[in-house]
Chains A and B, each alone.
Chain A
Amino acid sequence: MAKEIFMPKLSSTMETGTLLQWFKEEGDSVEIGEPLFEIMTDKINIEVESYDEGILLKKYFGEDDQVPVNHVIGYIGIEGEDVPQEAPGVSGAETEEAAPAENPEPQLVAAGSAETAITDEKPRATPAARHLARTEGIELRDVQGSGPNGRVHKKDVTAHAESSPVEAKATPLARKVAAGEGVDLSAVQGSGANGKVVKQDVISAKRTTAPVAGTSARKKMSGMRKVIAERMVQSKQTAPHVTMTSEIDMTKVKELRASLLPVVEKQTGFRLSYTEILMKATAAALARHPEINVSLEGDEIVQHGHVHLGLAVAVADGLMVPVIKDVLAKGLAELTQDAKEISRRARENKLLPDQMKGSTFTISNVGMYAVDMFTPVINQPESAILGVGRMQDKPVAVNGALEIRPMMTLSLSFDHRVIDGAPAAAFLTELKDVLENPYELLV
């Protein structure tokens, strides 16, 4: 009997999903785990993979159709099998035990795909395989293990390296920049140790690989691009943006980071970056200025009792804002771990729906580029966003003398419907004070 393809429910609030595209045509054969179609929800767009194998027998909906969750959108089965001519509605309706509408668990797994389930765990691998993967810059979770329970052996890593020579060695920052710039890392000549690609390599590559004048390309907007476009317009059209800037002396933050770097690295294995210190300071400032930590819902202003920070992350051909919850309660080590982990998942397109919602304020950091300041667009339903420019040594007057200090410009965009200029200015001043005396975070 033919198997139903249905609209998965990806969050507890999701009621309908928009079908963005099909990856298969009727009559195509489908493997288990193969991407079948892409949908967009209110929070996320995601590729849905097939639970079954066989022939795609029927598609009831096309692009941009909105389909209620759990409704059948197609069938997979054996060639020639009979399927209903019209969409039959709720999945499992013809069986006696209709699937309850509120049953998010299996769909979540479905949405994340079988691969997600595996990659949540640390990959099993022999020390030799780990060593080789480390020196070759290969992600072990990408390697198919031939040993018991999928244990990766050295030969598996070797085979993987040979089968995917395009897998380039690169620093995390280079990957990030490459993703943001749409640069293919495998085409970049690395100048780091063992040919590792560093940020500068990506930037140079970007210059040299810029499209030759005269040739234009045209491509259809991806699902994510559509979501970004829609949300940007929504924000700019509904929220009167005001942006204030302030220049921060980062001397002490620099010291703090230098002294905590080894501590955090020892605890978490990750390097503490300025982003985490900025998050910590922002959360502290928001706690003191709760009127900034608000959302407009209908005609009500909701002041949040927690600080969940969105972190704008550049991904291949787009932007995502994963959320780090309860920042006030977390120390720098935990924040570092959370931020690195969630950014990685974002870049690998492996964020869970829950990791993309509930933020009360967002930070957008473009400090790795030669950008001094910018006017960020509010990530609704939040009412304010902090833009972070690069840190640069500048001459400043300190107590009447000229000194060279690491300076950084923060831009605060806020929704003037709900936040007035004075409280916004007070918040930005508070944040500046915290960053210039970061040790007060300890008090």
Chain B
Amino acid sequence: MTTTIAEKTREITYLEAVREAMSQEMRQNSDVFILGEDIGVYGGAFGVTRGMIEEFGPERVRNTPISEAAISGAAVGAALTGMRPILELQFSDFITIAMDQMVNQAAKTRYMFGGKGKVPMVLRTPAGSGTGAAAQHSQSLEAWMAHIPGLKVVQPSTAYDVKGLLKAAMDDDNPVVFYEHKLLYRTSGHVPEEQYSIPLGKADVKREGTDVTIVATAIMVHKALEAAAELEKEGISVEVIDPRTIVPLDEETIIESVKKTGRLIVVHEAVKRGGIGGEIASMIAESEAFDYLDAPIKRLGGLAVPIPYNPTLEKAAIPQVPDIIAAVRETVKNK
């Protein structure tokens, strides 16, 4: 667990932490502004920007038409000319419509211009299932973005992390895709009042253990921790690592953990096929940790189905705590 104990912390929600990170930055840096659909008086689809237009005005909290291609491109153009825009997409599924601007423009501009120009922007967007929003409003497409050189990809799991990582994302001179999990917005935790930055590319060991390493992202961090608490009663010691950013990925922390435990399970909500779990598993197989593996690596991910509407089906489509417990038992069976 991150041990930065700030002078003044209080318990606030993940959602409030996102808003606080943006507001604090906007108060001191006039180049930072936010644009997106319904982020004005409505306060954004999930209420993240509520109250911000009142404080910062419509120039810096820019309510946009439903035009993902134009607003993402405008964010790239503004970033390229000196601003530090934060783009909010209502649902991460809509990144498909902003894809050209993120993949062909934002990610590549600096490289194809021969190292000239930079695109310091943050695309913030809520991801994940669990709200009954069904197939087009519940996806986890972070692996698509992770595949693109030039983009950074962040997936915070706690209120503390989300504030510090958003600060780092806003400070970064590259396009950062910042995934907020819808179900985590209402979770809360101790968060310092002042600004702080958590470096992109630094994983957090959320729980130490010796028998098996679970690398979990976003909401799966919490499910893994719940599973770990349950397994402790059986004498199984689980280490839970939250990479926090999948690009850049803190390979060293994961490798060191696997060298210690000899077993690896990767858990994410995104569809298992082509998911980031495959990348992490491969990275371990290629690393010095390979020789320490004493059980096959397991990946837990979403089934290869669109997220269904019915709540029972929706839950069954992604890994749950009992799935993680079963996977751990299987993995440590020959301990």
Interface residues of A (CB under 8 A from B): 126-131, 146-147, 151, 153-155
Closest 7 CB pairs of A and B: A131-B291, A128-B294, A153-B334, A127-B293, A154-B294, A126-B294, A147-B334
Complex Cα–Cα for A153 and B334 (A): 7
Complex Cα–Cα for A68 and B335 (A): 51
- Which residues of chain B are within 8 angstroms of A127 by Cβ–Cβ distance? 290-294
Please tell me the size bucket of the interface on B: 10 to 19
Does B295 make an interface contact (CB < 8 A)?
Answer: yes
B292 touches A131 (CB 8 A): yes
**13 A-B interface contacts by CB (under 8 A):** A126-B293, A126-B294, A126-B296, A127-B291, A127-B294, A128-B294, A130-B291, A147-B333, A147-B334, A153-B295, A153-B334, A154-B294, A155-B334
Which of B262, B294, B295, B334 is most buried by chain A, counting CB atoms within 10 A of its CB?
B294
Interface residues of B (CB under 8 A from A): 262, 290-296, 333-335
Complex Cα–Cα for A179 and B334 (A): 36
- Which residues of chain A are within 8 angstroms of B294 by Cβ–Cβ distance? 126-129, 153-155
B295 touches A126 (CB 8 A): yes
- Known: A126-B296, A127-B290, A147-B334; 19 extra A-B contacts, CB below 8 A, are A126-B293, A126-B294, A126-B295, A127-B292, A127-B294, A128-B262, A128-B291, A128-B293, A128-B294, A129-B294, A131-B291, A131-B292, A147-B333, A151-B334, A153-B294, A153-B295, A153-B334, A154-B262, A155-B294
Using CB atoms, name the residue of chain B closest to A153: B334
Closest CB of chain A to B275's CB: distance in Å? 23
Using CB atoms, name the residue of chain B closest to A128: B294
Complex Cα–Cα for A154 and B259 (A): 13
Main secondary structure of the interface of A (DSSP, over half): helix
Complex Cα–Cα for A128 and B296 (A): 11
Complex Cα–Cα for A130 and B290 (A): 10
Q: How many A-B residue pairs have CB under 8 A?
A: 31
B292 touches A128 (CB 8 A): yes
Closest CB of chain B to A189's CB: distance in Å? 28
Complex Cα–Cα for A128 and B290 (A): 7
Using CB atoms, name the residue of chain A closest to B293: A127
- Which residues of chain B are within 8 angstroms of A155 by Cβ–Cβ distance? 294, 334-335
Main secondary structure of the interface of B (DSSP, over half): loop
- Which residues of chain B are within 8 angstroms of A153 by Cβ–Cβ distance? 294-295, 334
Which of B290, B293, B333, B335 is most buried by chain A, counting CB atoms within 10 A of its CB?
B293
Using CB atoms, name the residue of chain A closest to B284: A127
Closest CB of chain A to B133's CB: distance in Å? 40
- Which residues of chain B are within 8 angstroms of A147 by Cβ–Cβ distance? 333-334
- Which residues of chain A are within 8 angstroms of B293 by Cβ–Cβ distance? 126-128
- Which residues of chain B are within 8 angstroms of A151 by Cβ–Cβ distance? 334
Using CB atoms, name the residue of chain A closest to B291: A131
- Which residues of chain A are within 8 angstroms of B333 by Cβ–Cβ distance? 147
Closest CB of chain A to B294's CB: distance in Å? 4
- Which residues of chain A are within 8 angstroms of B291 by Cβ–Cβ distance? 127-128, 130-131
Which of A128, A129, A155 is most buried by chain B, counting CB atoms within 10 A of its CB?
A128
Complex Cα–Cα for A297 and B335 (A): 61
- Which residues of chain B are within 8 angstroms of A154 by Cβ–Cβ distance? 262, 294
Complex Cα–Cα for A156 and B213 (A): 21
- Which residues of chain A are within 8 angstroms of B296 by Cβ–Cβ distance? 126
Complex Cα–Cα for A147 and B262 (A): 15
Complex Cα–Cα for A126 and B263 (A): 10
- Which residues of chain B are within 8 angstroms of A146 by Cβ–Cβ distance? 334
Complex Cα–Cα for A146 and B262 (A): 16
Complex Cα–Cα for A131 and B262 (A): 12
Which of A126, A131, A146, A155 is most buried by chain B, counting CB atoms within 10 A of its CB?
A126
Closest CB of chain A to B148's CB: distance in Å? 31
Closest CB of chain A to B254's CB: distance in Å? 16
- Which residues of chain A are within 8 angstroms of B335 by Cβ–Cβ distance? 155
Complex Cα–Cα for A131 and B296 (A): 15
Closest CB of chain A to B206's CB: distance in Å? 24
- Which residues of chain A are within 8 angstroms of B295 by Cβ–Cβ distance? 126, 153
Using CB atoms, name the residue of chain B closest to A132: B291
Complex Cα–Cα for A147 and B294 (A): 10
Complex Cα–Cα for A151 and B262 (A): 15
Complex Cα–Cα for A104 and B196 (A): 78
- Which residues of chain B are within 8 angstroms of A130 by Cβ–Cβ distance? 291
Using CB atoms, name the residue of chain B closest to A156: B334
Complex Cα–Cα for A126 and B291 (A): 8
Using CB atoms, name the residue of chain B closest to A134: B291
Using CB atoms, name the residue of chain A closest to B294: A128
Complex Cα–Cα for A129 and B333 (A): 15
Closest CB of chain B to A424's CB: distance in Å? 54
Closest CB of chain A to B125's CB: distance in Å? 38
- Which residues of chain B are within 8 angstroms of A129 by Cβ–Cβ distance? 294
Closest CB of chain B to A362's CB: distance in Å? 42
Closest CB of chain A to B283's CB: distance in Å? 14
Complex Cα–Cα for A127 and B288 (A): 11
Closest CB of chain A to B291's CB: distance in Å? 4
Closest CB of chain B to A157's CB: distance in Å? 10
Complex Cα–Cα for A153 and B292 (A): 11
Complex Cα–Cα for A84 and B292 (A): 58
Complex Cα–Cα for A308 and B294 (A): 44
Complex Cα–Cα for A147 and B293 (A): 14
Which of B290, B296, B333, B334 is most buried by chain A, counting CB atoms within 10 A of its CB?
B334
Closest CB of chain A to B95's CB: distance in Å? 37
Closest CB of chain B to A126's CB: distance in Å? 5
Using CB atoms, name the residue of chain A closest to B289: A127
Closest CB of chain A to B42's CB: distance in Å? 54
- Which residues of chain A are within 8 angstroms of B290 by Cβ–Cβ distance? 127
Using CB atoms, name the residue of chain A closest to B335: A155
Closest CB of chain A to B332's CB: distance in Å? 11
Complex Cα–Cα for A129 and B294 (A): 7
Closest CB of chain A to B300's CB: distance in Å? 19
Complex Cα–Cα for A113 and B333 (A): 30
- Which residues of chain B are within 8 angstroms of A126 by Cβ–Cβ distance? 262, 293-296
Complex Cα–Cα for A130 and B333 (A): 18
Closest CB of chain B to A1's CB: distance in Å? 40
Complex Cα–Cα for A88 and B296 (A): 53
Complex Cα–Cα for A154 and B295 (A): 9
Closest CB of chain A to B328's CB: distance in Å? 16
